[in-house]
């Protein structure tokens, strides 16, 4: 009877040891997977941060460009612009101006 009890204990101890090793391996595997995924997520987050900085810069540039276009649009609607174009393209002169031409 004592031999049976010892064998049974050894068998239970082996089973317990095998179970503990199996559980430890599973836990380590899960830890490894979580660590790898964490590293991948950090890298992805860094790339998204860089993309965000680039997009914010692009938004700033487009806002500046929009301001320039609005200023140019206001200039085009002004009398100063109309006079400038009339002088350059049509050769017109103002009422109080005298045109001098060279004799070439």
Number of domains in the chain: 1
Query: Would 103 be classed as within a structural domain?
Result: no
Domain range holding 17? 2-90
Query: Would 101 be classed as within a structural domain?
Result: no
Sorted by sequence, the CB contacts under 8 Å of residue 99 that are 6+ apart come out as 93
**Is the pLDDT at 1 greater than 60, yes or no?**
no
Q: Please say whether the beta carbons of 99 and 93 come within 8 A.
A: yes
Query: Would 25 be classed as within a structural domain?
Result: yes
- In this predicted model, what pLDDT tens digit does every residue of 39-55 receive, in sequence order? 999 999 999 999 999 99
Query: Would 48 be classed as within a structural domain?
Result: yes
**Is the pLDDT at 31 greater than 70, yes or no?**
yes
Sorted by sequence, the CB contacts under 8 Å of residue 87 that are 6+ apart come out as 93
**Cα torsion through 21, 22, 23, 27, rounded to 10:** 100
Return d(Cα 9, Cα 1) in angstroms, integer: 12
Query: Would 102 be classed as within a structural domain?
Result: no
The average confidence (pLDDT) of the chain is: 88
Query: Would 99 be classed as within a structural domain?
Result: no
Q: Give the pLDDT band of residue 67 (cuts 50, 70, 90).
A: very high
């Amino acid at each position: 009877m004592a031999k049976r009890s010892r064998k049974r204990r050894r068998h239970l101890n082996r089973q317990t040891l095998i179970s503990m090793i199996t559980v430890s391996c599973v836990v380590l595997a899960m830890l490894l997977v979580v660590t790898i995924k964490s590293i991948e997520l950090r890298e992805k987050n860094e790339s998204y941060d860089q993309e965000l900085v680039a997009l914010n810069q692009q938004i700033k540039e487009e806002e500046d460009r929009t301001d320039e276009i609005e200023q140019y649009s206001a200039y085009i609607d002004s009398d100063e612009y109309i006079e400038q174009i009339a002088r350059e393209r049509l050769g017109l002169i103002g009422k109080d101006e005298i045109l001098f031409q060279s004799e070439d």
